[in-house]
Amino acid sequence: MRSLLFIPGDDPKKIAKGLGSGADALILDLEDSVATSRKAEARALVRETLLARQPGQPRLVVRVNALRSGDIAADLDGVMPGAPEAIMLPKCEGGADIQHLGALVAVREAENNLPDGGTRIIAIATETPIALFRLGTIPGASQRLEGLTWGAEDLAGAIGAERNRDENGFYTEPFRLARSLALFAAAAADVAPIDTVSVDFRNMEALRAECLAARQDGFTAKMAIHPAQVPVINEVFTPDAAAIAWAQKIDRYFIEHPDVGVVGIDGQMIDRPHRVQAARILARARAAGVLG
């Protein structure tokens, strides 16, 4: 996945638009974008959307309400009959929360005759202060975990920050720390590191710069809040021809010379970490459909 587009779970028009947006995944939201009075209606619409999906459409991920919200049981009961590809867990406060969600999902997989373990989990892991201290408990918590992302908006409210970006649009220090820790936790867990949303959805120049910075740091995907953001995200997170050629050269050399540890290629010293990086680039290119 390169792009994950948030869609309010109670808006059929936005869901229909999202399905044709080109996003790799839609996050059908039952949490912040849905009023309490419309939660039940949203669950029903999300379930209908899941049951009606067609081949070639984006992956469908459901963001449920937080474990401590009192709504998550009803959320899962409402949507699991539609077999979502993944459940997104907001306000995740460590590995125990992921295990808890996994247990809740497992029961509903059994009740709905779904494959055991087939429903994956994507966790939003920095939305509360305590969550930052528990990121180290996430690696190894669950085989269901496939992605880890971070959030700046809820965290700002939780710590009482007046803003999370400076006058130039860059994250301030507390939020840069949260971003970095989430990236390290995802790498330690060997799951996809997913960058958070860019809320200024009309500023494509800023979005592109943010995507480039995220990719260079190691993120492999980014969430979006508007369909117009999807093409930029997909472009930046799709390896280009030069990156693919470099990765193929590295990969081919080590295949042909399995006993070589370090080699000079194009004036650079290349060793195992570069081969790992090359393999990841090639895997992303295949997933994006630009490499057979």
Digit-coded pLDDT (tens) for 132-146: 999 999 999 999 999
Confidence label for 254 from pLDDT (cuts 50, 70 and 90): confident
83 vs 292, more confident: 83
pLDDT given at position 276: 86
Helix (H) or strand (E) holding 63: strand 59-63
Instruction: Report how far Cα 24 is from the mean position of its chain's Cα atoms.
Output: 10
Quote the tokens at residue 245. Answer: 């050629």
CB count, 10 Å around CB of 195?
25
H or E stretch at 94: none
Least confident of 175-189, 216-230, 256-270: 256-270
- Dihedral sign computed on CA atoms, order 188, 172, 129, 154: negative
The mean pLDDT of the chain is: 95
**Which pairs count as long-range contacts for 68-72, CB under 8 Å and 24+ apart, including other chains?**
71/30, 71/39, 72/101, 72/104
Average pLDDT over residues 254-270: 78
Report the DSSP beta bridge partners of residue 193: 148
Q: What pLDDT does residue 126 have?
A: 97
Cα dihedral value 200, 205, 209, 215, nearest 10? 90
pLDDT for res 150: 98
Distances (CA, A) of 117 to 45, 106, 123, 186, 231: 24, 7, 16, 20, 32
pLDDT exceeds 80 at position 263: no
Q: Does domain 3-237 have CATH number 3.20.20.60?
A: yes
Give yes or no for residue 23 having a pLDDT over 80.
Answer: yes
Residue 268's pLDDT is 81
- Read off the pLDDT band of 72 (50, 70, 90): very high
Instruction: Tell whether the model's pLDDT for residue 287 goes beyond 90.
Output: no
Say yes or no to pLDDT of 267 above 90: no
Cα gap 151→132, rounded to integer Å: 11
Residue 291: what pLDDT? 87
Going by pLDDT thresholds of 50, 70 and 90, the confidence category of residue 272 is: confident
pTM for the structure as a whole:
0.92
How is residue 269 written in tokens? 């010293």
pLDDT band at 31 (very low <50, low <70, confident <90, very high): very high
Q: Which amino acid is at 88?
A: M
Burial of 200 (0-12, 13-18, 19+ CB in 10 A): middle
| Helix (H/G/I), strand (E/B), else coil: 123 | strand
Distance of alpha carbon 119 from alpha carbon 100, whole angstroms: 14
Q: What is the pLDDT of residue 265?
A: 77
Distance (Å) of CA 211 to CA 69, 160, 221, 234, 289? 32, 27, 8, 10, 20
Q: Per-residue pLDDT averaged across 53-75, rounded?
A: 96
Predicted pLDDT of residue 125: 96
Would you state the pLDDT for residue 270?
A: 80
pLDDT of 262 > 90? The answer is no
Residues of the chain with CATH 3.20.20.60: 3-237
**Integer Cα distance of 30 and 64 in angstroms:** 5
253 pLDDT tier (thresholds 50, 70, 90): confident
